[in-house]
C-alpha cells in the first residue's frame, strides 16, 4: 500500500451527492454509525478523515454531544462537520471550531466539489500541525516552521524525506540546505522526529492502544515503536503516556533544535572570524 496516497474518509450516515463529488482522491467509506466509529478509528492511519453532518440525529439544544465525545477520545483525528451556514447556525459553528473540529463545511450550490475537496485535504493534517505549531519553541525561525509544517503533512501521509522534497517542490539537496540554514536536522532526521511526534500525538488518544498506534504510523510491530521511542526519548510507552506523550516528545525535540541553533551560531561566528578584516 502506498501510504502517501491512502486517505481514508469515514462518512457518518449516507452522505450526499455533493460530498461524493468532492471526495475524489480519498478512500471513502459511507454509512458509518456512531457506535461503529470508535472501533474503526483505533487502528486507523493518521491520514484518516471523519466527516459528520452536525445536526444528523441530534436533538435541539444538545450541543453535539457525540461530536464532543469523539474529539475527546480521538483528539488527533481530523473531524469535518457539515452544516448549513445561516445566521442561526453561527454560534454552533463557533462551538465546533472551539472544540477542535478541523473544518466546518457547507455543502450546497455555492460549494463546488473542487473547493470542498481542497478543504478536506487541508483538514487531514490540521490536528497534528496545530499541536506541533503550539509546541515549537519560539526560537524556531519562520523558515524552520515552514519546513516543519510541510514535514508534519508528509508524516501524516506516511512519507519520508523524498516526499518532503516533492511537497516543497524542490530537489532533495535543496531541502538539506534549507534545513541547515534553518538550524534543523537533515531531512531524514526531521521526518524521523516528526514520525515519533505523530506517534506520541496518537498515544495521547485514550481510544488507541500502543499496538494500534504502531500500526497506524507504519511501524512493523509495537516492539518497533517501543524501540524507536527508547532511541529518541529514552523512555517507554507506558511512562510516556503517563507523562503526556506529545508534550514529553516535543520537549525533547525542542532541545534538539536548541542544540542545533547554538551550533549554527558558532558556525556563523567562525565564518565571520575567517573573513577579511
Q: What is the DSSP string of the chain?
A: --GGG--EEEEESS--HHHHHH-TTSEEEEEE-HHHHHHHHHT--TT-EEEEETTTTPPTTS--HHHHHHHHH-TTS-EEEE----GGGHHHHHHHHHHT-SEEE--STTS-HHHHHHHHHHHTTHHHHHHHHHHS-TTS-HHHHHHHHHHHHHHHTT--HHHHHHHHTS-HHHHHHHHHHTT---HHHHHHHHHHHHHHHHHT-TT--HHHHHHHTT-SSHHHHHHHHHHHHSS-HHHHHHH-HHHHHHHHHHHHHHHHHHHHHHHHHHHHHHS--
- Residues 204, 246: contact at Cβ < 8 Å? yes
Largest CA distance in the chain: 76
**Given a cut of 70, is residue 44 above it in pLDDT?**
yes
Cα 141–146–149 angle (5° rounding)? 120
d(CA 11, CA 156): 20
Q: Once rounded to an integer, what is the mean pLDDT over residues 56-60?
A: 70
pTM of the entire predicted model: 0.85
Inter-CA distances, 95 with 68, 82, 85, 112, 229, Å: 10, 14, 14, 25, 36
Nine cell digits for residue 43: 487502528
Give the phi and the psi of residue 82 in degrees, each rounded to 5: -105, 125
Question: Where does the pLDDT of residue 6 fall: very low under 50, low under 70, confident under 90, or very high at 90 and above?
Answer: low
Higher-confidence position of 18 and 131: 131
Q: Once rounded to an integer, what is the mean pLDDT over residues 87-108?
A: 87
What local confidence, expressed as pLDDT, does residue 4 receive?
A: 36
What local confidence, expressed as pLDDT, does residue 5 receive?
A: 47
Report pLDDT digits (tens) over 214-247.
Answer: 988 888 888 999 999 999 999 999 999 999 999 9
- Residues 257, 183: contact at Cβ < 8 Å? yes
d(CA 258, CA 260): 5
Within a 10 A sphere around the Cβ of 161, how many other Cβ atoms? 20
What local confidence, expressed as pLDDT, does residue 110 receive?
A: 62
d(CA 234, CA 191): 19
What local confidence, expressed as pLDDT, does residue 39 receive?
A: 87
111-115, 125-129, 160-164 — which is least confidently predicted? 111-115
Strand partners, 103: 80
What local confidence, expressed as pLDDT, does residue 131 receive?
A: 94
Question: Where does the pLDDT of residue 276 fall: very low under 50, low under 70, confident under 90, or very high at 90 and above?
Answer: low
Nine cell digits for residue 245: 506523550
Amino acid at each position: 500500500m502506498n501510504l502517501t496516497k491512502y486517505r481514508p474518509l469515514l462518512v457518518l450516515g449516507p452522505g450526499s451527492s455533493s460530498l461524493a463529488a468532492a471526495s475524489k482522491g480519498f478512500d471513502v467509506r459511507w454509512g458509518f454509525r456512531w457506535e461503529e466509529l470508535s472501533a474503526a478509528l483505533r487502528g486507523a492511519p493518521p491520514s484518516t478523515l471523519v466527516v459528520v453532518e452536525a445536526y444528523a440525529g441530534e436533538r435541539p439544544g444538545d450541543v453535539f454531544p457525540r461530536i464532543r465525545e469523539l474529539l475527546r477520545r480521538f483528539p488527533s483525528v481530523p473531524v469535518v462537520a457539515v452544516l448549513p451556514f445561516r445566521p442561526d447556525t453561527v454560534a454552533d459553528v463557533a462551538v465546533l471550531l472551539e472544540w477542535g473540529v478541523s473544518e466546518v463545511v457547507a455543502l450546497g450550490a455555492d460549494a463546488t466539489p473542487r473547493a470542498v475537496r481542497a478543504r478536506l485535504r487541508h483538514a487531514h493534517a490540521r490536528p497534528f500541525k496545530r499541536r506541533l505549531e503550539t509546541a515549537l519553541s519560539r526560537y524556531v525561525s519562520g523558515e524552520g516552521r515552514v519546513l516543519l509544517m510541510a514535514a508534519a503533512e508528509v508524516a501524516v501521509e506516511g512519507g519520508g524525506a523524498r516526499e518532503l522534497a516533492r511537497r516543497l517542490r524542490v530537489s532533495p539537496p535543496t531541502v538539506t540546505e534549507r534545513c541547515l540554514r534553518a538550524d534543523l536536522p537533515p531531512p531524514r532526521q526531521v521526518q524521523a522526529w516528526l514520525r515519533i511526534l505523530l506517534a506520541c500525538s496518537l498515544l495521547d488518544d485514550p481510544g488507541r492502544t500502543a499496538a494500534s498506534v504502531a500500526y497506524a504510523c507504519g511501524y512493523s510491530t509495537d516492539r518497533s515503536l517501543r524501540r524507536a521511542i527508547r532511541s529518541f526519548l529514552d523512555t517507554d510507552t507506558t511512562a510516556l503516556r503517563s507523562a503526556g506523550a506529545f508534550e514529553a516528545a516535543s520537549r525533547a525535540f525542542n532541545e534538539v533544535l536548541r542544540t542545533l541553533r547554538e551550533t549554527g551560531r558558532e558556525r556563523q561566528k567562525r565564518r565571520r572570524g575567517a573573513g577579511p578584516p
